[in-house]
Amino acid sequence: MPKLDTYLFREFAQATFAVLVVLMVVSLGGVFADVLGDIARGRVPAGMMLSQLGLQVLNYLPLVLPLGLMLGLLLSVGRLYRDSEMPVLTAAGVGPGRLLRPVMMLMVPVVAFVALCSLWLGPWARDYSQRMIEAGNRSLLLAGLEAGRFVELPGGRGVVYVGGMSDDGSHMARVFVYQQDEARMDVTTAATGVLKVEGSGDRFLELGDGFRVEGPLREGLDFRMMRFASNELQLPDAEGRRDEDDPETAPTLALLGDDRTEARAELHFRIAPPLLALAFGLLAVPLARSPPRQSRYGRTMLAFLGYFVSVNLVLLGQDWIADGKLSPGLGLWWLLLPLLAFAIWSYVRDGRLGRRRRAAR
């Protein structure tokens, strides 16, 4: 590898890595807030917070990596122009077109990893996340209950206390449950309890040998008490089970033979991120071109705005395909192909302009 390519590749890679670290920290904060919201609403067991956080990050990588690649190339190439390195390289016969080799050395693995995340890792993470949640909802240990401790039910609609629990978290002893709604409260105690999950995903506590007291939450004397040998108590709904043929969790190869509009929309959505990464990576080099001592952040904001608009058009196009407003055959090619063609034309034009000027001299 020539020394020039090694130097440029190192500059591009360092800037891209720094930008990706910042973007991942920002994205991680948003993902963490979403996971906490799902836990508070009872959709995700509290014991799965870290695992769900990691799986959700995989879903965001196909959108974060192209942006990090574009901004990293913009900043690194812009620094070459700002520090007058590019004019020196141009005078030595190295024009913008010569940057293609180190740029592609960085872009090819990044685009390949974006494609891997978008086409395989992302769908796998969504499917595995749902299976973990379904399995966790079958065990009160994973749902957050611990023996000897009061635990708030998902959604803040009650409190559960379990005096003893089996190793698998399905059988309990000395159970206390307090639930309330807008007007009434319900207090249940039982000597034993078993967790049951129906096929629809509803969770029930089958309590044995206990008492139940029901009455008004605020004013009134309308209290009722009963003793039971067996009683089923429904827990607040967790996140519903997804359909087995949900396109969002289906493998990409399975979507190829699926004629449903939702499946076609999901397939085009998965194809878009690697092409966006390639297009905006190529656009970064001509956009970063600027005279010395000129501000480079104006073009960075322009590139960021272009990426933001493109991603939103991808999301909007996916909805149009799923709703039947856009032909599945047309898909998202109306956006991706012109954008990719414009990126290639911009890069090639920038190199040709440099060669024509040198030839004219």
* 320 pLDDT tier (thresholds 50, 70, 90): very high
* Domain spans of the chain, in order of start: 3-136+251-360, 150-234
* Structure confidence at residue 149 (pLDDT): 77
DSSP per-residue letters across 4-52: HHHHHHHHHHHHHHHHHHHHHHHHHHHHHHHHHHHHHTTSS-GGGHHHH
Q: What's the whole-number mean pLDDT along residues 213-235?
A: 83
* Structure confidence at residue 356 (pLDDT): 44
pLDDT, tens digit, for every residue of 3-59?
Answer: 888 888 899 999 999 999 999 998 888 888 888 887 766 567 667 788 888 888 988
Q: Give the Cα separation of 78 and 121 in Å (integer).
A: 33
336 versus 134: which is more confidently predicted? 336
Which distant-in-sequence residues (6+ apart) come within 8 Å of 54 by Cβ? none
CB 228 within 8 A of CB 207: yes
The H-assigned helical ranges of 83-172 are 85-91, 100-116, 122-136
262 versus 292: which is more confidently predicted? 262
Q: Give the Cα separation of 88 and 24 in Å (integer).
A: 35
* Structure confidence at residue 351 (pLDDT): 46
CA Rg value for the chain: 28
The DSSP 8-state label assigned to residue 234 in this structure reads: E
